[in-house]
Structure 1
Amino acid sequence: MDQPSIDKPISHVLKLKNDIVKLNQRITQLEKEVKSIQENCRHVFYETDVTRSCIKCHYAESTYY
Structure 2
Amino acid sequence: MGLLRLSHTPAHSASSRAAAHRAMAKAALFADSSTRTRLKRYNHHIEKAQQLEARALETAKRSVGAVS
TM-score normalised by structure 2 residue count: 0.48
Q: Which amino acid aligns with 2:62?
A: E
Larger radius of gyration: 1
Structure 1, gaps ≥5 residues long: 40-65
Instruction: Count matched residues.
Output: 36
C-alpha displacement at 1:5, in angstroms? 2.1
Once residues 65 and 58 of structure 2 are traced to their aligned partners in structure 1, the CA distance between those partners, rounded to angstroms, is 11
| Identity across the alignment (%) | 11
What residue in structure 1 maps to residue 53 of structure 2? 24
> 1 or 2, which has the higher helix percentage?
2
RMSD (Å), alpha carbons: 1.2
TM-score of the aligned structures, taking structure 1 as reference length? 0.51
Of 25, 34, 59, which residue of structure 1 is paired with 2:63?
A: 34
Q: What secondary structure does 1:9 align onto?
A: helix
Name the structure 2 match of 1:6: 35
**Higher relative contact order (CA closer than 8 Å, sequence separation 6+):** 2
Higher strand fraction: Structure 1 or Structure 2? 1
